[in-house]
């Protein structure tokens, strides 16, 4: 069964004088419990596509069904609920709260996701262990390495137990070794925990590791 299905998606940005079509009649699907990658050069439209799937931007035409929701017809309020309940987002930059500890950076979003104080802390403890950083709980982001910060960001994206994880170049700022650690965690979420993963990357090697690969060139998507 598809957790994500996109039909004839078009995205046009209007920039004053002209209309720029960034995504051209795009069709794709992500099967539940599988990993899917989208590769493509910088500027090919990868982030634009993920933002649309994440309900963070409006499409120009077409349909997006994600986690059972028709994203293209939903109100802002429904989209907020969808983001809160169904998806996990990981970005190239970690956006951690610099004045809070690693554990708090997970516990605070867990509170926002609806857990009471005690349960949020338990959830954060569980997730920090899952990303292998139980010994870094009290560290502040500035005291963590880039790879560790990204692992905390990954743990944070899991507080709502999302069905679908959308990861936009999550290893873009990391060296090879740390990229590998973050990738291993992402794939373990699929292999061990049955999550669905849509991973955007310009790392072509990763495409070998996934269940399904697409390539985006100038806003045109092709299955590989
Ligand atoms: P990628 O993530 O693959 O590097 P993006 O999706 O960020 O690519 O961008 C794709 C294209 O869309 C780029 O040419 C970019 O300049 C353009 N673009 C992105 N956001 C906007 C916007 N808000 N307004 C106009 N053009 C945009
Ligand atoms: Mg991008």
- Tell me: the pLDDT tens digits for 171-213? 999 999 999 999 999 999 999 999 999 999 877 777 778 999 9
ipTM of predicted assembly, 2 dp = 0.98
Which residues, in sequence order, are bridge partners of residue 197?
35, 165
Cβ of 218 below 6 Å from ligand 1: no
Does residue 5 have a pLDDT over 90? yes
pLDDT digits (tens, 9 = 90+) for 135-149: 999 999 999 999 999
pTM for the whole structure: 0.94
| Residue 144 lies inside a defined structural domain of this protein | yes
| Residue 4 lies inside a defined structural domain of this protein | no
Ligand 2: distance of its center to the CA of 23 in Å? 13
Q: Which atom of ligand 1 lies closest to the CA of 48?
A: 6
| Residue 10 lies inside a defined structural domain of this protein | no
Range of the domain at 135: 98-161
Ligand 2: distance of its center to the CA of 136 in Å? 29
pLDDT digits (tens, 9 = 90+) for 45-82: 999 999 999 999 999 999 999 999 999 999 999 999 99
Using a 10 angstrom Cβ sphere, with 0-12 exposed, 13-18 middle and 19 or more buried, the burial of residue 35 is: buried
Instruction: Give me the mean pLDDT over the 34-43 stretch.
Output: 94
| Residue 126 lies inside a defined structural domain of this protein | yes
| Residue 213 lies inside a defined structural domain of this protein | no
| Residue 109 lies inside a defined structural domain of this protein | yes
Q: What is the pLDDT of residue 202?
A: 78
Q: What is the pLDDT of residue 156?
A: 96
Q: What is the count of structural domains for the chain? A: 1
CA–CA distance, 120 with 6 (Å, rounded to integer) = 34
User: Tokens 């028709």 belong to which residue?
Assistant: 70
Ligand 1: which of 16, 21, 48 to mutate, most ligand atoms within 8 Å of CB? 48
């Amino acid at each position: 069964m598809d957790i994500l299905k996109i039909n004839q998606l078009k995205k046009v940005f209007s920039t004053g004088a002209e209309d720029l079509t960034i995504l051209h009649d795009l069709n794709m699907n992500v099967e539940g419990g599988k990993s899917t990658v989208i590769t493509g050069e910088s500027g090919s439209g990868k982030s634009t596509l993920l933002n649309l799937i994440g309900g963070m931007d409006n499409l120009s035409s077409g349909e997006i069904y994600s986690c059972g929701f028709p994203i293209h017809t939903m109100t802002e309020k429904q989209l907020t609920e969808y983001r809160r309940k169904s998806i996990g987002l990981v970005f190239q930059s970690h956006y951690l709260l610099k004045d809070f500890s690693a554990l708090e950076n997970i516990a605070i979003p867990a509170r926002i996701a609806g857990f009471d104080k005690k349960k949020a802390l338990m959830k954060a403890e569980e997730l920090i262990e899952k990303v292998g950083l139980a010994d870094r709980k009290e560290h502040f982001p500035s005291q963590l390495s880039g790879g560790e910060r990204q692992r905390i960001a990954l743990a944070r994206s899991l507080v709502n137990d999302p069905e679908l994880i959308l990861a936009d170049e999550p290893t873009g700022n990391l060296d090879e070794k740390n990229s590998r650690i973050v990738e291993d965690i992402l794939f373990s979420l699929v292999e061990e925990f049955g999550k669905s993963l849509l991973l955007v990357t310009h790392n072509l090697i990763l495409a070998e590791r996934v269940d399904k690969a697409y390539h985006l060139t100038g806003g045109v998507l092709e299955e590989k």
